[in-house]
Structure 1
Amino acid sequence: MSNGDVFEKSHDELDFEFLGNIRGREWRVQTNVYGNGSTAVGREERYQLWFDPTEDYHQYSILFYIDSIPIREVVRTQAMGGDFPSKPMSLYATIWDGSTWATSGGRYKVNYKLAPYVAKFADLILHGCAVDPSDHKTACQGSDAVLYDAITMSADHQTTMAKFRKKHMTYSYCHDRIRYPTPPPECMFVSPESQNFLASGEAKFNYRHRRGRRYGRSSVDAVL
């Protein structure tokens, strides 16, 4: 979701990004958040998927869920200021070449002989304030605004999310001390997650995996 066509210098963006796949390996998805044109601060998190997203449709939603499993919560803090997305956005599906970094740091390039590439989505549901892009509104207004501001994640969903992240999250910008010696403001907290990550922000289990240990593909039942 983005509004870059309306707010060219101060756009907001919420991303689900499916990274290039190497045959026989797990698929990875990356989420990212930009607010008010803050593209210099990437808020990426990456996760291994327990399925092949090209074989069938799955449910992806923001708040960040995959097949009703919560994977990420971005809590608005005062210190974030305008970096928290707040303006009307539209939904886009795009395909672009990220093989300079997305597949093992650019080791594997896109194979254009396999084109055409097609992205599809179906059964789209939008919960929010409908707006006319020409109005250039900067906030959700009316009675619905109070409802959406009050949405919180239940304790059960918090537990489910923690299990998912421990099992499947391979990178988090909040734990990347090389890239961000001073963490972004929303990351200034002591999290039990931090013990699972290297200073590079990479999950320790993923580092061991790449160093040669073999881990079985997890099913969703095994995760939860």
Structure 2
Amino acid sequence: MFPMLILLLAAFAGSALAGRNFNQDFDITWGEGRGKILDDGKLLTLSLDKASGSGFRSKNQYMFGKVDMQIKLVAGGVSMCRFAVDGTPIRQFKNHESKGIPYPENQPMWIFSSLWDAEDWATRGGLVKTDWTQAPFTASYKHFNALACTSPSGSCSNNSSANSWFSQSLDNLGMERIKWVQKNYMIYNYCTDSKRFPNGFPPECSII
């Protein structure tokens, strides 16, 4: 087994982006050549060896929207992706600012992804070790598509037909799918990690 973490973070302000490529939309931010944009911008790869991993970041910042990307994970690896995989929701983070829980309502964010060795904490406290004889490990990214609002460009209009995602919410079936994924595939939950939070869990952990 290869304990490592592929981290894809996105928090999505007004235009729709579609059919672009990685040269136009992303920068390799670290890795000393281990991250590459290939095939005229149609393919991005990240690699990990014992010396270093690699990562990239979007050129634009986003506040609201929907972002799709095909990701080919490291073969045989133990990995984690957030927040949806193959159209299946795996987590929902609701706006509970009224209860004192921070929510990125007005703060645009970048899209980040990185590949790095996480055996010290993501594998039951380091019990599962990385088999470096199989390195380098490579993850691939294709078909990036964003139907999202970029910032700065004014406010997002929830009346626009291009922003149909603005009023979408999970139905009962969607919530059941989240529960199924978490029951069968979740290997780490920060809301149960008392070693990381010895003085109490984050406030969102107490809200169902």
**Structure 1 length-normalised TM:** 0.46
Greater fraction helix: 1
Highest RCO, 1 vs 2 (Cα 8 Å, sep ≥ 6): 2
**Structure 2 length-normalised TM:** 0.48
